Structure 1
Amino acid sequence: MSFDRLLGIDVGFSKSRPTTGIAWSVAGELGAAKTHTDWERRQQKIPPATIFSVIAIDGPLTPPDAPDDLARLCERLFIRGAFQTRCKPVLSHHGYGRALRKAAAETAAQVTHLAAATPIGQAVIPSTAIIEAFPNAFLGVLLGDERFGTSQAAKRKKFDWLYDHAVESGVFAKLLEFIGWSDDRVLQRLTDERDHERRAAWICLMTAACAAVGKAEAIGDEAGGWIWLPPAELWADWARRALAENRAAQMCSRPLARAARQTRAPLMS
């Protein structure tokens, strides 16, 4: 699969401001734009008459039958340990997270007709090549431990802080070389971008590119969906360790949770 016909969308869900970022690679051309949440205006920023081989959306995507209050494994694996202060996700089963999950589902519904009908890996939307991107973690796992010091940005500026460090440390060049996208224009666009929403869209596009060549790392399960991240070979050591530790902790907590439910059962009968 080539790097043609790829689409990345940073959802955003402000009703009044243009908070949706869109980036694409089509027929050798690259582009990025910022727009609103409604389909009428979003479609004006997407190359027309294109069926995309992979579409990556920055927002929690769950299987059609997943309940709204489902606590997703892919999110639980990134909310503790080193990830907690570096690139943790919003939990999408309550509060703000539910609104984001709804916005992501609405975005996926808007573009389903633009997605190739060939499923890709662990895509959760039936018969489509639509996957979930998580730009903060995508960037975070590529950065070395030394990048995370006392000067970390506040939560609301976290993504741009991570992006700036990714540019400064040269991880974009390494990523593009590893996945085989030898186009200097891509690196230039990534390096020069300053707009928050378009930056997020570019990382969604990079997520789609990694998936397109079978080099993305998908984290999660069938029940709650998958977060797609850079190739595992490029992850920083701290990120590898943190994920392994969180997986081990999650495995230990499952038997305890089952035991607790069994203990409570007689009291509920």
Structure 2
Amino acid sequence: MEQPTVDLNQVALLGIDVGFSKSRPTTGIAWSNNGEFGSARTHSDWERRSRYIPPATKFSVVAIDGPLVPSGADDSLARLCEYLFIRGAFQTRCKPGLSNHGYGKDLRRAASQTAEQILHLVMPNDAVRKTIWPGTSVIEAFPNAFLGVLLPEARFTMPAAAKRKKFDWLYDHAVDSGVLSDIFGLLDWCNGALLNAMLAETDHEKRAAWICLLTAACAATGKSEIVGDEIGGWFWLPPSELWASWARGALEKNLSALA
């Protein structure tokens, strides 16, 4: 069935970059609603996070940058979506950390806590069918891969960033190459002020939150590429027609290897 046209200026979307430092503001939040938008960097507790989310708003889609697994899943659960992106060309370009080891377990718990904080703000959305909480529209964003799969292979022949700065390197190249503008065009999202805010952003946490917001927008229009399974959850990524050829080939190869 063809997906109904969605005017993204008429729906409420929320993106959250999970941060779990108890003392530093490592959470990024970005939202859009009725043509308006905003972003902030804040802390992990709901009292302070909620200050930067428009009050009395029900969101059509919420995208969280953090591993979301089904309720009751064991901490040691290995996730298909993660293993598909740690192999081959993805390994040096946009691989995730494994959320069933070390620091990844902490991030998994923080992502789950974040989802629980915002569930009361989310309304059902028929466009979001693959979610670990049936009847909700909370999805998992993976900003590194979201940007990485869009970049042409030639970009990765340029000097690479240190591991801790990988996301900002990807973001800078996404801005420079025009792929963020391409997404707005494909989604028919006519909001030049929002696009310009994303292109001008330099704050790490806010950047991640903006990509979570773009992830939510793709999901709201039914144009996401969704990778994973019901056991371990899914990554929600940009529309496949925008992926670079190397990324499409790498995913197909990894799927075949794990079949």
Q: Which category describes the TM-score, using the shorter chain as reference length?
A: over 0.9
Query: For residues 1-269 of structure 1, what are the structure 2 equivalents within 5 Å?
Result: 1-3=6-8, 4-118=11-125, 120-149=128-157, 151-251=159-259
Secondary structure in 1 matching 2:88: coil
Q: Select the structure of larger CA radius of gyration.
A: 1
Taking the aligned partners of 2:77 and 2:131, their CA distance within structure 1 comes to: 18
Unaligned runs of 5+ residues in structure 1 are 252-269
Taking the aligned partners of 1:196 and 1:175, their CA distance within structure 2 comes to: 20
| 1:74–1:225 CA contact under 8 A, matched in 2 | yes
Secondary structure in 2 matching 1:52: coil
The residue type paired with residue 227 of structure 2 is I
Q: CA deviation at 1:54?
A: 0.1
| 2:218–2:224 CA contact under 8 A, matched in 1 | yes
Taking the aligned partners of 1:29 and 1:104, their CA distance within structure 2 comes to: 26
Taking the aligned partners of 2:23 and 2:152, their CA distance within structure 1 comes to: 38
Taking the aligned partners of 2:224 and 2:134, their CA distance within structure 1 comes to: 19
Secondary structure in 2 matching 1:210: helix
Taking the aligned partners of 1:169 and 1:49, their CA distance within structure 2 comes to: 37
Q: CA deviation at 1:117?
A: 3.0
The residue type paired with residue 238 of structure 1 is W
| 1:54–1:130 CA contact under 8 A, matched in 2 | yes
Q: CA deviation at 1:127?
A: 1.8
The residue type paired with residue 122 of structure 1 is K
Deviations 1:57-98 (A, max 9, x none): 000001113221110000000001000000000100110110
The residue type paired with residue 18 of structure 1 is P
Identity of counterpart residues, as a percentage? 64
The residue type paired with residue 169 of structure 2 is W
| 2:61–2:125 CA contact under 8 A, matched in 1 | no
Taking the aligned partners of 1:150 and 1:118, their CA distance within structure 2 comes to: 41
| 2:215–2:238 CA contact under 8 A, matched in 1 | yes
Q: CA deviation at 1:150?
A: 5.0
Taking the aligned partners of 1:102 and 1:192, their CA distance within structure 2 comes to: 32
The residue type paired with residue 26 of structure 1 is N
Unaligned runs of 5+ residues in structure 2 are 1-5
Provide the TM-score with structure 2 as the length reference: 0.95
Taking the aligned partners of 1:186 and 1:29, their CA distance within structure 2 comes to: 8
| 1:72–1:225 CA contact under 8 A, matched in 2 | yes
Q: CA deviation at 1:194?
A: 0.5
Taking the aligned partners of 1:121 and 1:82, their CA distance within structure 2 comes to: 29
Taking the aligned partners of 1:47 and 1:195, their CA distance within structure 2 comes to: 21
Q: CA deviation at 1:213?
A: 0.3
Taking the aligned partners of 1:125 and 1:85, their CA distance within structure 2 comes to: 32
Taking the aligned partners of 1:220 and 1:248, their CA distance within structure 2 comes to: 14
Provide the TM-score with structure 1 as the length reference: 0.91
Taking the aligned partners of 1:150 and 1:171, their CA distance within structure 2 comes to: 17
Q: CA deviation at 1:56?
A: 0.2
| 1:2–1:212 CA contact under 8 A, matched in 2 | no
